Amino acid sequence: MDVDAGAGDREALAVLVQYRMATTKQMHQIITPGVRIEQTRRRLAKLRAEGLVDRITLPQAGRTRVWFPSQYGVQVASEWPELRGRRPPRLVSDPVAVRLRVGHTLTVTETGLQFLLDARRRDELCRPLDFLPEVHHSIGSGEAVIPDALIYYQRAHRDGGDGAMLRAFLEVDRATMGPERLAAKLGAYARYHRYVPVPAGGGRRRTVEAVQGGGEEWRRRYPLFPRLLFVLDATGPAGIDNRVRALHAADVDTAVASFLREVTVLAAPMTDLLQHGPAAPVWRPIRDPECRVGWMEQPVP
């Protein structure tokens, strides 16, 4: 077996390892939208015969097949340069774990797919592996912020200027937790925004010079702090409003209020992303929920 013999096979496996799981239709739209879907089915069947991926079949009408990498597939792909440094998914190669996580994970995959499709329509750059689920960000004391995904997106070159590189943290909420618990995530991101690692040998004391010198942990990874996007699914308009109000009310915490002044935080219903695309003015700024903006727009001071 030689996975490298086919660039398409390699990309399919890399996508499944990075995304954790996807339906046949999602895989087709992500990696080979310009060919017939039967070719994608044959590619996935080939990878399954080689022991690199597996599948489950959902019991709902339509018998949707959900694909995920096998443990062997994760081991193979984790050695590739395009996935080096990524934490391998845990339990994703176990069919029972896949079945229990399928609702949330497929919604995350679908959200990433909408950004890919939007970039293609707009002639901008967001490649399949520019969507990175579950990226670990330490906030000290063994705790971490792990967004559902991190998105890299490059704007088109216009008027002779360079296309801006945008980054966004993505949180997908399927109404499985109360609005207050959802809003508590803002506190975790605020902690990451101001977190300064303790220097080696420095004990627990953080010096004023370290803070003033821009020593926050996130600056090691990003030139600007990524935007934070909440995608709200599995609830109606009243549920969306309740969740946005809860996020807006979180600014009673002074640390969250400071974070919201410095970082663009937006929320949008999944139904609007599917109907209009992520670039459309379907996002509600958490500081001003009555407005509607596109996620790439410059925030108003």
Each residue's pLDDT tens digit, 153-191: 999 877 655 679 999 999 999 999 899 999 999 999 999
pLDDT tens per residue across span 110-142: 999 999 999 999 999 999 999 999 999 999 989
What pLDDT, on the 0 to 100 scale, is given for residue 211? 45
**pLDDT of 91:** 62
3-state secondary structure 74-130: HHHHCCCHHHCCCCCCCCCCCHHHHHHHHHHHHHHHHHHHHHHHHHHHCCCECCHHH
pLDDT given for residue 205 in this prediction: 43
* Token pair listed for 262: 């410095």
Tens-digit pLDDT profile for residues 191-250: 999 999 987 655 444 434 344 445 899 999 999 999 999 999 999 999 999 999 999 999
Is residue 31 helix, strand or coil? Answer: helix
Q: What is the pLDDT of residues 247-293, one digit of tens each?
A: 999 999 999 999 999 999 999 999 999 999 999 999 999 999 999 99
pTM recorded for the entire structure: 0.91
pLDDT reported for residue 208: 41
Q: What is the pLDDT of residues 84-120, one digit of tens each?
A: 888 777 767 788 888 889 999 999 999 999 999 999 9
Strand order in the sheet with 227-232: 131-133, 149-154, 165-173, 227-232, 265-269, 284-285
User: What is the rounded distance in angstroms from the CA atom of residue 189 to the CA atom of residue 222?
Assistant: 14
The whole-angstrom separation of Cα 156 and Cα 159 is: 10
